[in-house]
Amino acid sequence: MISDKNKHRFEYIWHLYNSDKTEVDLPFDQHVPCDPALWQFPKHLVEYHRLVFGLGYMSLKDKTVLDIGCGIAWYLGSMENIVKKYIGVDTNERRIKYAHVMSKLVDIDADISVSSAEQIICKADTIMMLSVTHFIPKVKDIFKKFDCENIILDCWEERNNQSLTDLISYLENKGFTLTEKELYDYADKTDLGKKQKYKGDRYILHFNRQK
């Protein structure tokens, strides 16, 4: 389950991001959570937390985690007191600005920067790609680059001419075992109030490779 503190941090960072404010404009300790009668933490994100961080606990515990396409790092609190080190990269400068704000609210060793999977040079035990796999043209090259033990993916069945079946087959041929493949389904099929533009189902996948 997601703690009330984590829910509050999530609500806070989205409030800042969507209103284009900074932590100077509205410090966290002055942010008042929404009245539950008016707004409640989305149930589909509670399920997302379970599928990614619950099922992926052993892939995160005491690991160095590289989060490719970290965005504003809204889920950073889900790794608090779990991961050894968190490395977050995103090509969007504005999102990284808010990811830094989020990192100040979480007790975690975090290294967050404006970069891409192609540019970043680091070692990681676990790679996370949440909702970005189909936007990296040569995603297989990224998996070649990082000699990791675990991979956590959030991706669609078919998008931008990339097939989930093909990707699974590629990783299995590289020695990875698909340990979890769970459908992530939310009824309204919306993201930030906008209709999704994808076809097919969306899955959370966990891979492990014994070295």
Supply the angle between the helices 93-104 and 4-19 in degrees, to the nearest 10: 150
pLDDT per residue over 158-193, tens digit each? Answer: 877 788 899 999 999 999 999 999 998 765 555 545
pTM over 0.85: yes
Of 53, 109, 118, 61, residue with least CA distance to 89: 118
Three-state secondary-structure class, residue 182: strand
| pLDDT tens per residue, range 112-158 | 999 998 899 889 999 999 989 888 888 888 888 888 999 999 988 88
Cβ 207 vs Cβ 171: under 8 Å: yes
Cβ-contact 109, 143 below 8 angstroms: no
Other residues' Cβ atoms within 10 Å of the Cβ of residue 97:
15
